[in-house]
Amino acid sequence: MARNQPPANQAPVVQRIRLRYAKRGPLRFTSHRDFARTFERAVQRAGVPIAYSQGFTPHPKVSYASAAPTGVASEAEYLEIGLRARVDPAEVGRRLDAALSPGLDVLDAVEAGPGSLADRIDASRWRIELPGVVPDELRHAVVAFEAAAEVPVQRLTKQGWRTFDARGPVVLIRVEEPPSEVSDVPCAILDLVIRQVTPSVRPDDVLSGLRVVVGLEPPVPPRATRLAQGTLTPQGEITDPLLADRTGAVTGVPPG
């Protein structure tokens, strides 16, 4: 029997849709692998006509832009799906959002235009809350960090401890004014823009950097949130990576 051959061809991709989604609250502890599995099941439940790769073990066509680290919340994660039938992107977004657990929320859905998503993402904006840290203490650390030409930090990776510079890719680092309401516990807030480089510099690496320069030790683990991802403008702003797709759709440029 001719059994050692891949099964019948999978239907081709006829439409690509890009999604922006958030990872919030307790579900920020979802790892990227966890999210990928969960998303594939949500696609099944939502009845989205996802396309599959060819071969013995066909995989749903989903590709991800760089994912926020486990434990970091995000308002700006991106992915792209390939579909075997055309559908209204907004409808897909609504259905997927309903199928995903609250805390994994689809925020935007557009039909993909030309060019790759990855090419439109070269920086992220992060917000880090540091409960138990007085804003002035953080300001002091930030000044020292900015003044340094290089801040070597270490991180444990799968290949062991790696040392790299946490200062270079940091485009902006500043302390936000604390909210006006008075609280018993101080909570300093850090606003960060980091350029995407290899190896990537993540919010916790910048916190390691603050420890390196002035010995800042937050008493409890800080809470980081990615606020935006996209193209860094010369003014230091971050452009929505789906903007080009949306504009393309409006001006009637055919997809792909």
Partner 1 sequence: MQSVWPRLEPLLPLVSKPIQYVGGELGAVVKDWDSASVRWALMYPDAYEVGLPNQGVQILYEVLNERPGVLAERTYAVWPDLERLMREHGVPQFTVEAHRPVGAFDLFGVSFATELGYTNLLTALDLAGIPLSAADRDDRHPIVIAGGHAAFNPEPIAGFVDAAVLGDGEEAVLEITGIVAAWKAAGCPGGRDEVLLRLARTESVYVPRFYDVEYLPDGRIQRVVPNRADVPFRVRKRTTMDLDAWPYPKKPLVPLAETVHERYAVEIFRGCTRGCRFCQAGMITRPVRERSITTVGEMVRDGLKFSGFTEVGLLSLSSADHSEIGDICSGLAERYEGTNVSLSLPSTRVDAFNITLAEELSRNGRRTGLTFAPEGGSERIRRVINKMVSEEDLIRTVVTAYTNGWRQVKLYFMCGLPTETDDDVVQIARLAHEVIRAGRAATGTRDIRCTVSIGGFVPKPHTPFQWAAQASPETVDRRLGLLKQAINADRSLGRAIGYRYHDGEPSLVEGLLSRGDRRVGAVIRRVWELGGRFDGWSEHFSFARWTQACADVGVDLDWYTTRERGQAEVLPWDHLDSGLDKDWLWQDWQDSLSEYEQDDCRWTPCFDCGVCPGMDTEIQIGPTGRKLLPLTPVGH
- Which residues in this chain contact partner 1 in the complex, by CB under 8 A? 1, 3-4, 6-8, 11, 26-27, 29-31, 33-35, 37-38, 40-45, 52, 56-58, 60, 70-71, 99, 101-103, 220-221
Contact between residue 63 and residue 119 where contact means Cβ atoms under 8 Å apart: no
| CA distance readout (Å), 21 to 54, 69, 85, 245 | 27, 15, 22, 16
Please give the helix or strand (H or E) that residue 250 lies within, else none.
helix 243-250
Least separation in angstroms between CB 103 and partner 1: 6
For partner 1, give the closer residue by CB, 44 or 247. 44
For partner 1, give the closer residue by CB, 70 or 200. 70
Least separation in angstroms between CB 209 and partner 1: 18
Least separation in angstroms between CB 4 and partner 1: 6
Contact between residue 25 and residue 73 where contact means Cβ atoms under 8 Å apart: yes
Q: Which residue has the tokens 């444990």?
A: 156
Least separation in angstroms between CB 34 and partner 1: 5
For partner 1, give the closer residue by CB, 54 or 116. 54
For partner 1, give the closer residue by CB, 3 or 158. 3
For partner 1, give the closer residue by CB, 26 or 256. 26
Residue type, 79: L
Least separation in angstroms between CB 118 and partner 1: 25
Residue 61 CA to residue 50 CA, distance in Å, equals 7
Coil, strand or helix: which one is 244? helix
DSSP assignments along 203-214, one per residue: HHHHHHHHHHHH
